[in-house]
Amino acid sequence: MTLRVLCVFLLSGWLSVSAVALPIPENGPALRIQGSNTIGAELGPALVEGLLQEQGLLKIHRETPDTANEQRIVGQTAQGQRVVIEVAAHGSSTGFTALKNASADLAASSREIKDSELLALQALGDLKSPAAEQVIAIDGLAIILNPANPLEQLNTEQLARIFAGEVKTWEDIGGRGGAIHLYARDDQSGTYDTFKELVLSRRGKSLSSAAKRFESSEQLSDAVSADPQGIGFIGLPYVRQAKAVAIADGASQAMLPLNSLIATEDYPLSRRLFFYLPPDSRNPWAQALASFAQSPQGQAVVAASGFVSQTVQAMSVAPNALMPEGYQSLSRHAQRLTVNFRFAEGSASLDNKARQDLARVLDYIKRNGKTERAVTLVGFGDLKDDPARADLLSKLRAMAVRRELVKNGVVMREVRGFGALMPVATNSADEGRIKNRRVEVWVF
């Protein structure tokens, strides 16, 4: 089965994995994965193990070579033939470099591919196409403190100034403890790239040279836990013994890195985790792993690994006085699904994750008998000079999602637009405006 066919099945609602036996190479690994430490430390190997089990392999285990942050996941056929998949986790940028020099079949990345990387890899095909760019999980960057630190929340402006070294003591931001000690991932890390993009670069800041740098997420978290004056940023599964604080961005409410807020990508420091594979990849194991990662079985592995799965669930939302009255009424009578539809930059077209989510939402609606006037779509947008234009655009985005659902037999209850109300990010940067342009799904 080709990757293109797999993607057609994914987008039409078929989310299970083909059980067709994959070919076993006579020499060398069946698959080489390079890139993100966030993915490669545990999630990637766990997904590989799930695929090997799906393939009926026996004696599945992990082997650790002499090189740090590398693993081999090994299985055995009934005939005793050894199957090896290699995972190297030295940072997201190394995955794209490995694709370019043909030392990897699949890149794992904890950030979106950069324009410069797209250009460098254009000979391999369009790595932004739905077939190539696969969102496998959602993660939240947690801002972690020592458990004894009394601070409960920070905003992204404070974070930028802290990690740039401009705020030097805890007393400067209303805390206590003296000098602030900074802990950060290394330059190869997608976690660092994401923090730099979401927090530092947006405000014209650079990471202080005083920050202690780590290749390992676990070691960074443990270092902050042991330092009463420490602060660091880390992927959600690596909070460990540290304390996560609530984060606000612009006019958004302060949010803890809770699964529900990360699943909808409302939490200010939420991010997507990706597999990238060349569209014309001839490695069937790469294609099969990408498909397995999207399946219900694969998303169960995502959740078990400590990340946030893309499995659609309904959640109750408590109304509060900061919500518009119409939204309060909705929250009293309906439940919100754990997914937001977002749009490609500068476009009214659904982005790649939204296309994947469309199949999941349709599956949820049909399985739960919600096809007849039980679904309301709620659109939001970024701030405009003309509030009426913001209201119109927010409703038009909801209508774009409505069209896709109606094509698949869903009769809508209502489509609403709330304009620029209830922002989840600052409107002063492109990334924040894109996050605010969203469509929520509510079910009765």
119-128 pLDDT per residue, tens: 999 999 999 9
In this prediction, residues 204-226 reach a mean pLDDT of 96
For position 345, what pLDDT does the model report?
63
Question: How far is it, in rounded angstroms, from Cα 437 to Cα 430?
Answer: 11
Task: Write down the pTM of the prediction.
Answer: 0.81
Split at pLDDT 50, 70, 90, the class of 134 is: very high
Asked if 31 contacts 283 with a C-beta cutoff of 8 angstroms, the reply is: yes
Asked if 285 contacts 22 with a C-beta cutoff of 8 angstroms, the reply is: yes
Split at pLDDT 50, 70, 90, the class of 1 is: very low
In this prediction, residues 256-262 reach a mean pLDDT of 91
In this prediction, residues 111-131 reach a mean pLDDT of 95
In this prediction, residues 272-283 reach a mean pLDDT of 92
Residue type (1 letter), 344: A
Split at pLDDT 50, 70, 90, the class of 19 is: low
For position 429, what pLDDT does the model report?
66
SS (H, E, C) 230-268: EEEEEEHHHCCCCEECEEECCCCCCECCCHHHHHCCCCC
| All structural domains of the chain | 3-132+277-304 (3.40.190.10), 140-261 (3.40.190.10), 312-443 (3.30.1330.60)
Split at pLDDT 50, 70, 90, the class of 347 is: low
For position 20, what pLDDT does the model report?
64
For position 300, what pLDDT does the model report?
97
Q: What is the mean pLDDT of the chain?
A: 90
Residue type (1 letter), 155: N
For position 8, what pLDDT does the model report?
38
Rg (alpha carbons) of the chain, rounded to whole number: 22
- Bridge partners, residue 380, by sequence: 438
- For 27-65, what is each residue's pLDDT tens digit? 899 999 999 998 999 999 999 999 999 999 999 999 998
In this prediction, residues 3-30 reach a mean pLDDT of 59
DSSP 8-class letter at 197: I
Which of 26, 28, 72, 69 minimizes the C-alpha distance to 52?
A: 72
Lowest mean pLDDT among 16-30, 195-209, 322-336, 365-379: 16-30
pLDDT(13) > 50: no
